[in-house]
């Protein structure tokens, strides 16, 4: 059924302006600018999360696409995970984080299950067609061969949980790596004469940087300098959302505690509305090759996050259909 939505349209390319969206079936049919029109609700392209372990709360936060993520685990776990991916139109495939990581920077990954690159195991995962991203450490033996195979399968080689140097990181990018998993966290840092993995990721425009901009994983200055150095067109807001607890008593973070609109609200206050839409929607869509998502423009899929003036979720649409709130559900606010 056709539908019309009025409000403040926030598009990564055209910016924020009052307008009207005409939705026909699964697509945005027309976009009208309406100077002087209402500026609420706020209409944004649905958010896409490239790294999320707990996807149940996602649609209530305006997330219309996500990579269901599985971490470092015993043999056989990834295979079972891939067989049981959510039957959900928002699930865009799997992100396999590990197990081919550097144990010295395991972070919250299960260090006891970190292992050398096993190309046979990897080929089995890729053959399912359900893997869209694999995170590994480029300094491991056979890592470059793994990067080549991941890219050849149409998935995205991602670098993370790495203590590699700048040169190796740069060579891995030449080999086909295209994503930095939770940039700055669990990776070699930047020093005056040793720019490390971070230096390679910041300087190479082929890399998209996954940024957990929740105020917990990074200092605000680190966030700001990263966005300034790389630009919003190379930043993908990611949640790393896990079920509680997200933190141990010693302060070690086990994952994120907010996603979707919760991240966008904070990013918009610091970097701007259109910029937050770029980082939360357009950039991850482009990385995944989804040319019909990430914008409020005619012909794009009507994946929409409808928010109030404070950027609190009101409604989530996937392909023109309301997926949240469902019957009996109310608005939720998980974090502030």
pLDDT in tens, 192-248: 999 999 999 999 999 999 999 999 999 999 999 999 999 999 999 999 999 998 987
User: What are the structural domains, with CATH classification, of the chain?
Assistant: 3-43+296-324 (2.30.40.10), 45-287 (3.20.20.140)
Closest CA to 17 of 301, 303, 320, 273: 273
pLDDT at position 332 is 46
pLDDT at position 250 is 79
pLDDT at position 326 is 61
Bridge partners of 313, per DSSP, are: 307
For CA atoms 170, 49, 129, 163, the dihedral sign is positive
pLDDT at position 331 is 52
pTM surpassing 0.85?
yes
Strands 63-70 and 3-11 come out as unpaired
List the chain residues with pLDDT less than 50.
Answer: 332-336
Residue linked to tokens 């049919």: 29
């Amino acid at each position: 059924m056709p539908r019309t939505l009025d409000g403040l349209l926030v598009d990564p390319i055209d910016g924020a302006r009052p307008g009207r969206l005409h939705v026909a079936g699964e697509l945005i049919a027309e976009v009208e600018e309406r100077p002087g029109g209402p500026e609420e609700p706020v209409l944004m392209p649905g958010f896409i999360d490239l790294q999320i372990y707990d996807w149940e709360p996602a649609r209530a936060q305006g997330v219309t696409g996500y990579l269901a993520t599985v971490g470092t685990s015993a043999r056989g776990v990834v295979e079972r995970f891939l067989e049981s991916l959510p039957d959900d139109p928002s699930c865009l495939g799997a992100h396999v984080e590990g197990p081919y990581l550097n144990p010295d920077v395991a972070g919250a990954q299960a260090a006891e299950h970190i292992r050398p690159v096993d190309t046979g195991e990897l080929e089995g995962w890729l053959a399912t067609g359900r893997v869209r991203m694999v995170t590994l450490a480029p300094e491991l033996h056979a890592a470059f061969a793994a990067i080549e195979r991941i890219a050849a399968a149409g998935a995205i080689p991602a670098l993370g949980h790495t203590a590699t140097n700048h040169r190796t990181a740069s060579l891995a990018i030449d080999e086909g790596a295209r994503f930095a998993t939770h940039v700055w966290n669990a990776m070699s840092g930047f020093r005056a004469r040793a720019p490390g993995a971070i230096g390679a990721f910041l300087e190479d425009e082929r890399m998209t940087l996954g940024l957990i901009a929740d105020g917990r994983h990074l200092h605000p200055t680190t966030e700001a300098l990263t966005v300034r150095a790389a630009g919003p067109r190379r930043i993908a807001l990611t949640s790393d959302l896990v079920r509680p607890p997200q933190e141990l008593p010693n302060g070690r973070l086990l994952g994120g505690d907010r996603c979707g609109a919760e991240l966008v609200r904070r990013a918009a206050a610091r970097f701007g509305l259109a910029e937050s839409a770029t980082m939360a929607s357009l950039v991850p869509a482009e990385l995944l090759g989804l040319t019909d998502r990430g914008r409020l423009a005619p012909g794009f899929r009507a994946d929409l996050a409808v928010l109030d003036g404070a950027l609190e979720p009101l409604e989530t649409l996937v392909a023109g259909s309301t997926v949240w709130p469902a019957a009996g559900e109310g608005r939720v606010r998980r974090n502030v």
